Amino acid sequence: MSSAQALLYVYAECGPNVSEDNFHDWYDKEHAPARLTVPGFLSAIRYKSLDNTKVPTWLAMYDMTNERVLSTKEYAHLRETASQNERDVISRLKTLDRGIYSLVSTKSTPEAQIKEENPVVSGKFLYAVHMQVVGTTDKTSAEDAFLKWYSQTRVPLLSKVPGWIRSRIYRLNGYTDMAGGSKDVKGVPDAVKTWEPMKFLALHEWDRDGMEVTGSPEFKMCMTEERPWTLPGSETPMAEMEDRRFGLYKTFEKQ
């Protein structure tokens, strides 16, 4: 079993008040490396969106041993001792949305399973799918059925796409909008909300560039063969799904 049982998943968008150079300088030299000093943080990786029309543009992911890492004194110390630069950048960012997830299931190649223990493997292309069950009062049983359907249909299809490394499914346990720049000067929430969290997240990774993956016949077949999920005896779609595509931007070494 992988030692990474939780995930910190962070979307970011600079907006008009933070330049990309300023954002990258802060994130790459200060923010991400500091988190890897906390016991229980196993990896840090950044991705850039390959979706031309979708925001947020930037994604950071941190694999953790468990969610309790975020309640430790070491993690609290990061917030308490945050530099003025960190406070300033966060206060001006358009988007900084933080989701905390627990691992539901994982499937990977044998090579990836070995690497998952030290440290967690990361792909050059990431296909992320936000998902949730809708239209039913019996959410628990419906969600169990949905996750079983996704694991037994979508994951096997995607695993046949050349270069596939692994697929993971997560459950959302907490969400925070941290960006000060998500409000205008009067403190009124911006009319354009860039991301609404859904209850489940599927992450699929490949060891090659996004154009090669998405241009393959196998990936195209997965997209054309995708069918809405329904409960037995119903033809009404019972799940919402939103996908995002990302290319690897930077990985960080744990000291």
Question: Could you check whether the bond before residue 217 is cis, i.e. omega within 30 degrees of 0?
Answer: no
Are the C-beta atoms of 91 and 181 separated by less than 8 Å?
yes
pLDDT of residue 72: 97
Evaluate whether 165 touches 121 at the Cβ level (below 8 Å). Answer: yes
Domains of the chain: 6-252 (3.30.70.100)
Sequential pLDDT tens for the chain (255 residues): 568 999 999 999 999 999 999 999 999 999 999 999 999 999 999 999 999 889 999 999 999 999 999 999 999 999 999 999 999 999 999 999 999 999 999 999 887 765 555 545 679 999 999 999 998 878 889 999 999 999 999 999 999 999 999 999 999 999 998 887 544 433 334 433 445 689 999 999 999 999 999 999 999 999 887 777 887 777 777 899 999 999 999 999 887
Q: How many CA atoms lie within 13 A of 156 on its CB side?
A: 7
Q: Rounded to 5 degrees, what angle do the CA atoms 250, 63, 133 make?
A: 110
Within 8 A by CB and 6+ apart from 243, the residues are 127, 128, 129, 130
Say what the pLDDT of residue 120 is.
53
Q: What is the pLDDT of residue 232?
A: 75
Q: What is the pLDDT of residue 145?
A: 92
> What's the confidence (pLDDT) of residue 231?
75
Give the residue among 204, 177, 196, 174 at the shortest CA–CA distance from 69.
174
CB 122 within 8 A of CB 205: yes
18 close to 230: Cβ distance less than 8 angstroms: no
